[in-house]
Structure 1
Amino acid sequence: MNLKEYLSGLGKVGREVMAQRCGTSPQYLYQLSLGNRTASPRLAIEIEKASGAVVTCESLCPDVDWEYLRKNSTTAA
C-alpha cells in the first residue's frame, strides 16, 4: 500500500498521531503522499515502523538499496 492510500484510511486524528510518531507534521506526510516531497531514509524508516510495515521504505525512498540493508542487518554483529 502506498502512503496516500494509507493516510486516506486514517481520520484527522489518526494522521496527526501518525505524523507525531514519525517526527514530522501531517502536512509534510500529505506532501510526501502526493509525491511533492521525497522522504529521507530516516523518515521512510519511521513511516514504515509507524504503519506496521503497511507502507514500506522501498515505496517512500526508492533510491536506497533497502534489500541490501535488510539482508545484511540480520547478519551484522
Structure 2
Amino acid sequence: MDKLRTYLNSKTPEKQDEFARRCGTTLGYLRKAISAEQQFDVQLCINIEVESGGAVRCEDLRPRVTWAKLRGTAEAA
C-alpha cells in the first residue's frame, strides 16, 4: 500500500481523481483503503497496475496472491 500512497501523493489532486476514475473507483475509496490497510479485489489491483503504468504492481497491493502464476511467469517446479 505504501507504493500506492507514494504514487498518489506524487500527483496533483486533479490527477489523483482522474487516476481513481480510470481504475474504476474513487479517490476517497483508495485513500480509505490505504489508511485501513484494506485488501483490494483482484480486478482493482490489475486496474491500478495498468493505469499506473506498472509503478504500482499487483504484488505491492496483494502480496499473498501468486501473481507470477497468473501472469504465466512462475517457474516450473
TM score, norm. by length of structure 1: 0.84
Q: Is 1:68 equivalent to 2:69 in the alignment?
A: yes
Once residues 23 and 29 of structure 1 are traced to their aligned partners in structure 2, the CA distance between those partners, rounded to angstroms, is 11
Partner of residue 19, structure 1: 20
Unaligned runs of 5+ in 1: 73-77
Deviates more, 1:54-63 or 1:25-34: 25-34
CA contact (8 A) 1:39 1:60 kept: yes
Partner of residue 30, structure 1: 31
Opposite residue 12 of structure 2, the aligned amino acid is G
Once residues 62 and 20 of structure 1 are traced to their aligned partners in structure 2, the CA distance between those partners, rounded to angstroms, is 24
Unaligned runs of 5+ in 2: none
Partner of residue 6, structure 2: 5
TM score, norm. by length of structure 2: 0.84
Runs ≥4 in structure 1, deviation > 6 angstroms? Answer: none
- Residues 23, 50 of structure 1: CA spacing in aligned structure 2 closer, same or farther, 3 A cutoff? same
Question: Counterpart of 1:3 in 2: which secondary structure?
Answer: helix
- Residue 38 of structure 1, CA deviation: 1.2
Partner of residue 42, structure 2: 41
CA contact (8 A) 1:4 1:34 kept: no
